[in-house]
């Protein structure tokens, strides 16, 4: 079991370019696993964790409802946003400037083979990070992601999640609103969930929050939860 993780900060990068880069890392791990099984080898599989910030983009998961995008793609183009249908779980999600996006590309055979536990650990990483800013974040039953004030009329999502896994190798991940322009969420039904709001770390704290600081805290909690070597 290889519990080393290669962390990469890709900076501000186009969604499609980053998706292609994810796929390369994902296929690299899958192919090594197949080779190991076919040839009776035990070559360690690598693990990656990519941080990135995207230009304005909307993505629709494979089980998502296109009706949850409330405007035409022409309107998106006028707002400087692009749109992609992609191969993760979940519904529609927005990515944009001021949002910390994380893509763990892990061979879960190196950690634990349980997708539900994997998602709960990603949520816990975000919950612990927000706790360092004095926010009491939590899960909402039946709704993947991280929320504030669950069970009240003020319930609002601060972090969305959607993953893909094959042969216990993961890709895609989470999007944490740090300093994001929340008006872009008005163009969709966030994650296909009606009647609940969206927020950001800066909106909750009333100040700009350094992105590098948030990424450092997420990394620390990820290392602890996943017992990274």
Instruction: Could you list the residues known to form a binding site for substrate, using ranges.
Output: 88-95, 160-162, 173-175
Question: Does the active-site annotation cover 191?
Answer: yes
Q: Strands 82-85 and 57-60, how do they pair?
A: parallel
User: In this structure, what are the phi and psi dihedrals at residue 196, rounded to the nearest 5 degrees?
Assistant: -130, 145
Burial class (CB in 10 A: 0-12, 13-18, 19+), 127: buried
Let me know: does 70 contact 169? Beta carbons within 8 Å.
no
Distance CA 187, CA 166 (A): 32
- Residue 59: which of 190, 197, 169 has the closest Cα? 190
Binding-site positions read: 88-95, 160-162, 173-175
SS3 39: helix
Helix (H) or strand (E) run with residue 137 in it: strand 137-140
Q: Which among 155, 159, 188, 191 is annotated as catalytic?
A: 191
Question: Long-range contacts of range 29-37, CB-CB < 8 Å, 24 or more positions apart?
Answer: 29/105, 29/107, 29/169, 30/166, 30/167, 30/169, 33/107, 33/109, 33/167, 33/169, 34/167
Report residue 83 as tokens.
Answer: 């749109």
Q: Which residues are catalytic?
A: 191
């Amino acid at each position: 079991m290889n519990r080393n993780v290669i962390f990469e900060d890709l900076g501000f990068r186009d969604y499609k370019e980053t998706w292609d880069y994810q796929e390369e890392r994902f296929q690299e791990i899958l192919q090594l696993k197949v080779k190991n099984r076919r040839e009776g080898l035990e070559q360690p599989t690598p693990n990656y964790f990519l941080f990135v910030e995207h230009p304005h983009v909307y993505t629709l998961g494979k089980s998502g409802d296109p009706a949850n995008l409330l405007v035409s793609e022409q309107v998106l183009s006028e707002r400087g946003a692009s749109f992609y249908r992609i191969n993760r779980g979940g519904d529609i999600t927005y990515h944009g400037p001021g949002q910390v996006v994380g893509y763990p590309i892990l061979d879960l055979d190196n950690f634990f083979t349980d997708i539900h536990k994997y998602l709960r650990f990603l949520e816990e990483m975000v919950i612990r990070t927000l706790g360092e800013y004095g926010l009491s974040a939590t899960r909402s039953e039946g709704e993947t992601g991280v929320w504030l004030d669950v069970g009240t009329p003020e319930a609002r999502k601060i972090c969305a999640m959607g993953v893909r896994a094959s042969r216990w190798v993961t890709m895609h991940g989470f999007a944490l609103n740090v300093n994001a322009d929340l008006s872009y969420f008005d163009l969709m039904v966030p994650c296909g969930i009606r009647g609940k709001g969206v927020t950001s770390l800066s909106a909750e704290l009333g100040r700009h929050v350094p992105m590098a600081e948030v990424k450092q805290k997420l990394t620390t909690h990820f290392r602890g939860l996943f017992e990274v070597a």
